[in-house]
Amino acid sequence: MAKRRQLRGFDLKQIFGFGSLIGVDEAGRGALAGPVVAAAVLVSQEFLEGRWAVGKSGRVNDSKQLSAAERTVLWAEFEELVAQGQIHATFGVATVAEIETVNILGATKLAMRRALEGIFPATAFLKKSEPDLFATEVEKSAFQPTVSCQILIDGLPLRNFAYPHQGIVSGDGRSLCIAMASIVAKVTRDRLMDELDKIHPGYGFAQHKGYGTEEHRDSILRLGRSAVHRDSFLRKLYAQQRDLQGQMILFD
């Protein structure tokens, strides 16, 4: 629990000099099936020093370190915090088709951008001079002042990303807002996989959420791929199966 309290302390240091922090994390990057989901959670200095953060944020951790029940309880509390205006929380999704088109890294960046766009457009972070006094009303309405916000993304910094940010390695275990984002992303994706389980029965999506468990791999080899499996992720599985079949023929 003491380690979990350090997450809030980390964010209090990171927010110094900024108006707010946004933590960003993803879920589903390594799965064999289903979309990749990213989430963004904005917190303020007032929130970090407020009653909920001081008294209850010690229960927040990297989503992988929490049980499904713990994540569900925290998700409900996050929804209440959003309704009260204490935090902002959004998510973005990149589809299987997008994963196949731009690869998993590109799709993860796409999902993260969509999550962040739910809070601020990327243009809000561009440094611009004050708009011309003689600008048209359309030009004035398009003007966006610089946003005083620090974006923390779990992992290494992303190249060619629309939003200026800081990469925090193992950030979901170090930063409160990143850990909160990891929970939002995980719960959102789990619920999407539960729905896909109803559409594509037999693969066990509701149990393993699309990850490469032994049961999932066996179901793919038995039933073939579904419309929500990632072809690029299945090549290794099929190659291993061909090698195994070749060995069986060789020693038959």
pLDDT for 146: 57
Over the stretch 203-225, which tens digit does the pLDDT of each residue have?
A: 999 999 999 999 999 999 999 99
Domain spanning 2-250: CATH 3.30.420.10: yes
Mean pLDDT for the chain overall: 89
- So where are the chain's domains? 2-250
pLDDT of residue 129: 45
Cα Rg of the chain, angstroms: 21
pLDDT confidence bin for 3, thresholds 50/70/90: low
Q: What is the pLDDT of residues 145-182, one digit of tens each?
A: 456 899 999 999 999 998 999 999 999 999 999 999 99
The share of the chain scoring above pLDDT 90, in percent, equals 79
pLDDT tens-digit series, residues 68-126: 999 999 999 999 999 999 999 999 999 999 999 999 999 999 999 999 999 988 777 75
Residue type present at position 109: K
For residue 128, name the pLDDT band (cuts at 50, 70, 90): very low
**53-62 average pLDDT score:** 96
- DSSP β-bridge partners for residue 43: 21
Residue 59's CB: how many other CB atoms inside 10 A?
13
pLDDT for the residue numbered 238 = 84
Q: Tell me the two tokens of residue 36.
A: 């990749």
CA distance 104 to 26: 11
Q: Which pLDDT score is estimated for 122?
A: 79
Distance CA 56, CA 37 (A): 26
